[in-house]
Amino acid sequence: MLIAGPIGLGITIFSLSIARREDAKFDQLFEGFNHFGNALGAYLLMVVFILLWMLLLIVPGIIAAISYSMTFFILADNRSIDGMTAIDKSKEMMYGYKLKYFYMMLRFVGWSILCLFTFGIGYLWLFPYMYVSMSNFYDDIKDNPIPKEEAQTAST
């Protein structure tokens, strides 16, 4: 649990480099350890908040997890902010995009089931594909926030 945050940040940095067609290096997988405090803090806060939302029911926990899903991407782009600020920005960024993200992640369920038939070997291809897809999703929405008025009319 102590290294999950820094490893997650490193994987995110690496995936963003691939998605942006930049020079991706193996060393980027461990860059999260250079920002150990922020990465660990963000990870622990996300886990606590999601678990608290899960106390209500499963669905609020899933919605919270989707709201916080862009936290490591925000930290990867701006490593000077702290974990709580990244979580707040993630919630704000995902406003109006949660269902679109859910549909995107739902597409990987079938692939994940197929990977089980390969005794897990298929995950070596699926996980990078998922992370690069999430990186592209992040790049698509980071500069295009949905105005709150438009999101409210779309949800009704």
Amino acid (one-letter) located at 58: I
CB 73 within 8 A of CB 135: yes
Q: What is the predicted pLDDT for the residue at 117?
A: 92
Can you give the pLDDT at residue 126? 92
Distance CA 106, CA 103 (A): 5
Taking 70 as the threshold, does the pLDDT of residue 148 lie above it? no
Q: What is the DSSP string of 86-126?
A: HHHHHHHHTTTTHHHHHHHHHHHHHHHHHHHHTTTTTHHHH
Contact 29, 17 (CB under 8 A): no
Contact 132, 22 (CB under 8 A): no
Q: Is 23 helix (H, G, I), strand (E, B) or coil?
A: coil
22-50, pLDDT tens digit by residue? 887 888 788 778 888 888 888 888 889 88
Q: What is the pLDDT, as a whole number, of residue 114? A: 93
Determine the pLDDT at residue 146.
66
Instruction: For residue 10, give Cα distances in angstroms to 25, 34, 57, 122, 132.
Output: 11, 9, 31, 22, 13
Predicted pLDDT of residue 116: 92
Please tell me the predicted confidence (pLDDT) of residue 30: 82
pTM for the whole structure: 0.82
pLDDT tens profile 103-143: 999 999 999 999 999 998 999 999 989 999 999 999 888 87
- Whether the CB-CB separation of 46 and 73 falls below 8 Å is answered with no
| 3 — pLDDT class (breaks 50, 70, 90) | confident
Tens of pLDDT, residue by residue over 59-89, are 888 888 999 999 999 988 887 888 888 898 8
Q: Indicate whether 151 pLDDT > 60.
A: no
